[in-house]
A and B are shown apart, each in its own frame.
Chain A
Amino acid sequence: MKKETYINESNEVYDAIVIGSGITGGWAAKELTERGFKTLMIERGRVVEHRKDYIAEGKGPWEFPHRTKVNNLLVEEQYKIQSQCYAFHDGTKHFFGNDRDLPYSTAEGTDFSWIRANQLGGKSLLWHRQSYRLSDYDFTANLKDGIGNDWPIRYKDLAPWYDYVEKFVGISGNYDNLPQLPNSQFQPPFEMTKPEQDFVKTMAEVYPDRPAIMGRCAHLTAPQKIQVELGRMKCMARNECQKGCSFGAYFSTQSATLPAAARTGNLYIAPNSVVESLIYDEKTNKVKGVNVVDNDTLKTREYYGKIVFLCASTLASTQIMLNSKSRKFPNGIANSSGVLGHYLMDHNYNARAYAEIDGYEDEYYMGRRPTGIYIPNFRYEPKRYHKDYKRGYALSGGAGRSDWQGMAKSNGFGVDFKNKLKHPGKWGMSLGAQGEMLPNRENQMTLHNSKKDKWGIPQIHFNCKWSENEKRMMEDAAQTAAQMLEKAGYKNVQSSFSERPPGIAIHEVGTARMGRDAKESVLNGYNQCHDIDNLFVTDGSAFCSSAVVNPSLTFMALTARAVDYAVKEVKAGRL
């Protein structure tokens, strides 16, 4: 990135302001700059330069002080919550927020795990990269069930935008032609292991309505010109993605949207700029800029823009809106409906099953695949629902061979033990549930009435918990996954539950939802605030339902579509 891209003080009125630099903010900046809009991207954290700042990349475990595990005192004092994330280790901890500086509270009897990534690129550096489209079963689920509000858009509205973003991102996957999981624009899928291939065949016979497919992920398997010209390369199957990838093989802001935006010459970035609130102009009923507190010096400054894309993440965007109070909007900007902060959702990952597989001793694999086997939601419409709960879940996992880690506690000593660990152990397969969470008005984030963070911004107070629907779903998912492993002929089938709170799937959505009716939603079908036409919110906060699939691909499609709409509105003189 050129030095002059980064700004600090500026009185300029930009064509557009983008708040946030993660998956959503990166897309907003790319689309706006490519359409000729002089755009200021505001990021609360430090600059992370592609390649240069991937400080742990390519290092073997012996090169870390504790073989990639994190010092216990450091975890206790600064990363107690972040360390709950599967991707948190000594090679990635610098991309996670510091819990000491980022406090929040939860209502009595509830818990919420808020995983943070406050730097340029945000969670796009740390995400799990699994990429799936929503289907019309998802867009109509609220309507059919009479739960939550109806999405104001349908699959046909978003399909061309999925096409558009996927060609740029690069999604590996197989054309499976499933009604509940529309195809993407694919690059070749990753290969299955031999037991997985056989599992797929068995499932097709035993459960024809529950196809098992290869996972779809934002990794280049056959890079196209659009990716190569940004310096991106084929995935090397290291599966160390969260340390940062100098190959640019997985989609991140740094690898893809940022260089695309920068080459237009229209991109400016204000790093270390914590957005405290939006500046509302009552005369024009528009947002005219943002109030910022410097991340390091705590000094305040303002930035100005003609339109504002709020892409700070579901919870952070909602926090900024709730904290933007005025005479007209005493309860948060664009919140005449009163739903801002309500209907917080995540996914429930609390059930799984595991089994051992006999045989296949001559079979092995090479490389570390960044995705796995996926069984899409097979309870995707009311007539397929389980009698005990609504909606459904996907199962994801895969088959691999046990290694020294799995055998570390097994019995034995000496040369025999060493020889045992020299070779791979038995094959096993795991399946984990990814369950939908229903929209529920009671699940809410508010601003704490007295506690503030070090930037003087009111802390978030969560009141969010699993409902009986999610709990019953997980009971069924564990049982069902175990049955499928039994039917596959596997041994020692076990299922288990965990009690992890909402938040830890890091798929939080729903707190500034879209809708047709301004009285019951914050955003219209183009992610534009009903109340203020130059304010767009395009991250997960716009979701009306969580659906089952990983949400990031949909953030991207919604964002590209919203920018297209906004640009047309500006050019038509309506905005």
Chain B
Amino acid sequence: MSDSLNLKRRSLLQGLGAVLGTAAACNLLGGNAIAIANAYTPKPNSHKLAGEVFSQPQMQMLRDICAHVIPKTDTPGAVDVDCHGFVDHQLKHVHEQSAQSSATAILDKINQVCQTRFSKGFIELNDAQQLDILQQVETLQGAFSKQDETGFKLVKSLIVFGYYTSQAGAMQELRYLPVPGGFRGSVPYKDVGTAWSSKAYY
């Protein structure tokens, strides 16, 4: 972010602390705030455990898919923030039974196609083979058809949602602005550099 945007924001926050008190102002800033006890907590080993919707082998598979959708670069990737654990948890608690079935079904189908083609499961394939299969699902090529689209897009969009609403996705990968200080209708994109990240609600 350019200095002029940063400066404006900093002076705003100082002013805010003066009016509301530092504790209230910090609470409002939100960005660095304290995790909440019952929020979904990333685990280091989700792929080694059976999930709430997915079996343990499916969790391993989902972890590999996460790595292909949003890999680690100079910022964390989907696996680093346990998107596979998140997707499983979110499907169970927010989505309907039909969505859960649709998600497990597409993973089963992908695995079957791998068995037929390579005589191996998805998780045993190398990166290039996995990517090839995933691209086939997404473009509905080979063994995949229109009926596989909903399930796959659901899983993919949940991975994306999980990543960009995680703290790392919102604050490291994109720019998180909890208290913009006002609205400016026209800002040169080069002064911002990356997309603004999540809103605070979905």
**Which A residues have a C-beta under 8 Å from some C-beta of B?**
51, 57-73, 89-92, 190-194, 196-197, 221, 233-240, 243, 246-247, 361-369, 401, 403-405, 407-409, 411, 413-415, 417-418, 421-424
Contact = CB atoms under 8 A, between A and B. Distances in A.
A436 to B, nearest CB: 30
Contacts of B113: none
Contacts of B31: 60
Contact of A417 (B70, B161, B182, B186): B70
5 pairs of A and B residues whose beta carbons are closest in the complex:
A191-B185, A367-B180, A58-B30, A367-B183, A408-B160
B138 A411 contact: yes
B182 A67 contact: no
B95 A72 contact: yes
A370 to B, nearest CB: 8
B144 interface: no
B160 A414 contact: no
Contact of A239 (B73, B94, B166, B199): B199
Contacts of A91: 200-201
Interface in B25-40: 27-31, 33-36, 38-40
Contact of B166 (A62, A92, A361): A62
Interface string B172-191: 01101111111111111110
B180 A69 contact: no
A57 B202 contact: no
A404 B165 CA distance: 10
Given A236-B181, A237-B181, A65 B186 contact: no
B184 A366 contact: yes
Contacts of A422: 173-174, 194-195
Interface size class of B (residues with CB under 8 A): 35 or more
Contacts of A73: 93
B195 A411 contact: no
Contacts of A66: 40, 89-90, 93-94
16 contacts: A58-B29, A60-B30, A60-B198, A65-B39, A196-B185, A365-B185, A368-B180, A368-B183, A369-B185, A403-B195, A403-B196, A405-B160, A408-B161, A411-B139, A422-B173, A423-B195
Nearest to B89: A66
Nearest to A64: B39
Given A57-B28, A60-B30, A67 B35 contact: no
A413 B33 contact: no
Nearest to A57: B28
Given A66-B94, A70-B94, A405 B183 contact: no
Interface centre among B5, B171, B195, B198 (most CB of A within 10 A): B195
A67 B90 contact: yes
B170 A234 contact: no
Contacts of A58: 27-30, 33, 178, 200
Given A364-B189, A366-B177, A411-B138, A190 B183 contact: yes
A399 to B, nearest CB: 10
Nearest to B192: A364
Contacts, number: 215
A59 B35 CA distance: 9
Interface centre among A67, A68, A422 (most CB of B within 10 A): A67
A59 B30 contact: yes
Chain A's interface: helix, strand, loop or mixed, by majority?
loop
Given A72-B94, A233-B19, A238 B179 contact: yes
A259 B44 CA distance: 49
Contact of B189 (A64, A237, A240, A363): A363
A125 to B, nearest CB: 15
A192 B187 CA distance: 11
B201 A418 contact: no
Contacts of A414: 68-69, 71, 131
A51 B5 CA distance: 28
B40 to A, nearest CB: 6
B129 interface: no
Nearest to B194: A422
B200 A191 contact: no
A62 B71 contact: no
Given A414-B68, A424-B195, 18 more contacts: A58-B178, A61-B198, A62-B39, A64-B39, A68-B165, A70-B94, A72-B94, A91-B200, A236-B179, A246-B24, A365-B186, A366-B5, A367-B177, A401-B195, A404-B160, A405-B161, A405-B164, A413-B138
A238 B73 CA distance: 30
A58 B30 CA distance: 5
Given A66-B94, A194-B185, A424-B195, A415 B35 contact: no
A401 B194 CA distance: 12
A128 to B, nearest CB: 14
A60 B33 contact: yes
A68 B165 CA distance: 9
